[in-house]
Amino acid sequence: MDKTAPKNFSICSREKLIKDIETKARLIGITEEGIKDPLPESTEDMLIFDIGEIEPYRIYGEDVNKYKKLVKELRKREKESNYKTAYKTLVEEVAYTWFNRIIAIRFMEVNNYMPDKMRVLSSGKEGVKEPEFITYYRDTNIGITEEEFEKLDELKLDGSTKAMDKMFQFMFIKQCNALGKQLPELFEKTNDYAELLLNISYIDENGVVYKLIEEIDEDYFNIEKTGQIEIIGWLYQYYNEAYRDLVINIYKGNIKKEDIPAATQLFTTQWVVKYMVENSLGKYWLERNPDSKLKEKMKYLMPGEIDYIDEKISPEDIKVFDNAMGSGHILIYAFEILMHIYLEEGYTEREAAESIIENNLYGLDIDKRAYQLAYFSLMMKGRQYNRRILNKGIKNNLRVFEDSTNINENHLDLMGISMDEDNRRKAIKDIKYLIREFENAKEIGSILKLKDLDIDFLRKFVRDIKNEGQITFNETNIEKTKEKLNNILDITEMLNNKYHVMITNPPYLNKMSSKLKKYVGDNYPDYKKDLFSVFIYNNVEMCKPGGYSAYMSPFVWMFIKTYESLRNHIIKTKHISSLIQMEYSAFEEATVPICTFILQNKTSEEEGNYIKLSDYRGGMEVQRVKTLEAIRDPKCGYHYETNQDNFEKIPGMPIAYWASSNLIEAFVNGKPMDTLIEPKVGLQTGNNDRFL
């Protein structure tokens, strides 16, 4: 896929959406500087705003309520920070909400996944710009009343650009709300103010919808032609790119909590994803199923004999976890490998798709935007194999971290009402402990250390509430508290479980805020230099014995003194199954040299596979080609097999997999130079004024 068009589109879309939302907000007196009151002649049903023109701007009916909610939300956020920050974050939030939905609907319409089988953003016909659901609006089934149809009739008859844009925006919102029944985590009912600020057009040639249709090849969205939902992840990364470039400037100090997603999310190159999944999940299955044909499907599987393990596991029992999932790219390829496994075991595609989503794949992230797209991508992958899956209410195991600071603890008194007093006290104590631990969850994320709790017991406590009719006005919103607590319990259970396979591209971050730095220092003192090293340590510990943990990370951990504790832990207690060291500047998406590798949660007995690509410049495509060459021909000259015990024989324990037996022997039997001679600084006088 040529990424130029998606990149340009995403960067421009962010700017355009923000600009258009700010324009719409300005019409109702809301700017970065503050909120202007409506004119005095306004009424309960009509608000009038001075916009500096002859005719003022008016809003009516439901839009008045949406305006009031918008002002209320801004004032609420202002109390938590300041007005400018409140305004900025709200505009950003509304912009990404509509961006996510636009690209999701584009994916669905291209693949004919829309419930009405109608296109929403395009016509599907050469030279016709009017979207199909505008042309045949009377045939749609998206909750439009007869009164609303009559208004749409008038707009269609008018036919002006203004009228058609109004019609399109109205129907687009209706479509999003209708999709909420099938994809509730992405098309959740929007805050009313988000609808008020929506400002899109299919006619405007500079608009997001027009550019999406005209500038990005439709085949990029077509599963039958690309075979992947990869486009969703790339659009998401590029949407954030301009802001990311701003926040990762290391000279501007530590990364703030709200900027961690932008600073750390990098879309993992597709072939690296395949390497990680095939050599962890794929290998785990092959070890227990030596007659499996899965091996034939995995061209990135490292060479060598696979040791048979006399242990049976059913497909439903395999647990795969990406605890920094981003937009879900790794989980989607894991889905494909699991599909091969299920089919091999006699399941139908429909059965397998449901089971994979419900039983096999787990994911966490601190960014709601990424979580929504990961959820969407996973459900679209399921839809690829089961056309009824969106109507089945399938439960998934993806979650997003939320801070617990706004949980109403008074609601705990209304829970566990049928429990005895001792159990209630215990449940309340445990729930309050979790609320404290999750106060900064959106910053700490998956490295949260939590004590083991009886989650089923706590779920029962949260479920056990007063009947709706018994709840007083002061006790309303208990359902929101219940929802937040259940999310905390789900995440706690995920973090305390053990998995067969852990796979992630962890965050690369060493410029931490004071809170995050303290948490890492207190809980992971030996690995505190960078978040990625914490994830390397933590993830392999979350594996079951013999399980695999796969990573893409900077390769500095392999060599420098700062990460010696990490190397010591890995070399002495884990097995490096395989590792690929990239050329220094191969990964174009980041400014760090990287590697990708697989750890097994067991002490090392056999040799590991290593590929050294340091000499092959030309970006990740060159790295891919050379990796495949090394897999096909292990005698290529840059493929190595070595026992990691050798690394202990070298001072500092570098992952020097290329070191020859003679070199290792020299370190074992030779004497360090500092025992023979006193080191001196060379070519310095020590006093230039005296000697020169």
Between the alpha carbon of residue 39 and those of residues 21, 34, 51, 228, 624, the distances in Å are 22, 16, 11, 53, 63
Helix (H) / strand (E) element for 296: namely none
DSSP 3-state of 449: coil
Q: Tell me the per-residue pLDDT of 310-346, one tens digit each, with 9 for 90 and over.
A: 999 999 999 999 999 999 999 999 999 999 999 999 9
**Residues 371, 400: contact at Cβ < 8 Å?**
yes
What percent of the chain has a predicted confidence (pLDDT) above 70?
95
pLDDT for 248 equals 60
- Tell me: pLDDT of 474 over 70: no
What is residue 405's DSSP assignment? T
Residues in the chain: 692
Ramachandran category for residue 73: left, alpha or beta (phi over 0 → left; psi -120 to 50 → alpha): alpha
**Residues 202, 121: contact at Cβ < 8 Å?**
yes
pLDDT for 616 equals 94
- Tell me: pLDDT of 635 over 90: yes
Q: Tell me the per-residue pLDDT of 351-409, one tens digit each, with 9 for 90 and over.
A: 999 999 999 999 999 999 999 999 999 999 999 999 999 999 999 999 999 999 989 99
**Residues 160, 57: contact at Cβ < 8 Å?**
no
- Tell me: pLDDT of 680 over 90: no
Sheet with 320-322: list strands edge to edge. 398-400, 361-365, 320-322, 499-504, 543-554, 594-600, 575-581, 608-612, 639-642
Question: What dihedral do alpha carbons 238, 243, 247, 248 form, nearest 10°?
Answer: 20
Task: For residue 327, give the nearest of 485, 109, 99 by alpha carbon.
Answer: 99
Q: Tell me the per-residue pLDDT of 510-564, one tens digit each, with 9 for 90 and over.
A: 889 999 999 999 999 999 999 999 999 999 999 999 999 999 999 999 999 999 9
DSSP 3-state of 207: coil
Model pTM? 0.92
For residues 419 and 476, the model is more confident at 419
Cα–Cα dist 675/102, whole Å: 68
For residues 655 and 676, the model is more confident at 655
pLDDT for 689 equals 74
612, β-bridge pairs: 581
Structure tokens at 515: 């809170």
pLDDT for 250 equals 45
Sign, CA torsion 306/332/369/435: negative
Q: Report domain extents, the chain.
A: 4-217, 265-401+498-669, 409-437+449-495
Query: What is the pLDDT of the chain when averaged over all its residues?
Result: 92
Task: For residue 8, give the nearest of 219, 230, 235 by alpha carbon.
Answer: 235
Q: Tell me the per-residue pLDDT of 22-76, one tens digit each, with 9 for 90 and over.
A: 999 999 999 999 999 999 999 999 999 998 888 999 999 999 999 999 999 999 9
pLDDT for 304 equals 87
Cα–Cα dist 363/502, whole Å: 10
What is residue 675's DSSP assignment? G
Q: Tell me the per-residue pLDDT of 561-602, one tens digit each, with 9 for 90 and over.
A: 999 999 999 999 999 999 999 998 888 777 789 999 999 999
CATH 3.10.100.10 is right for the domain spanning 265-401+498-669: no
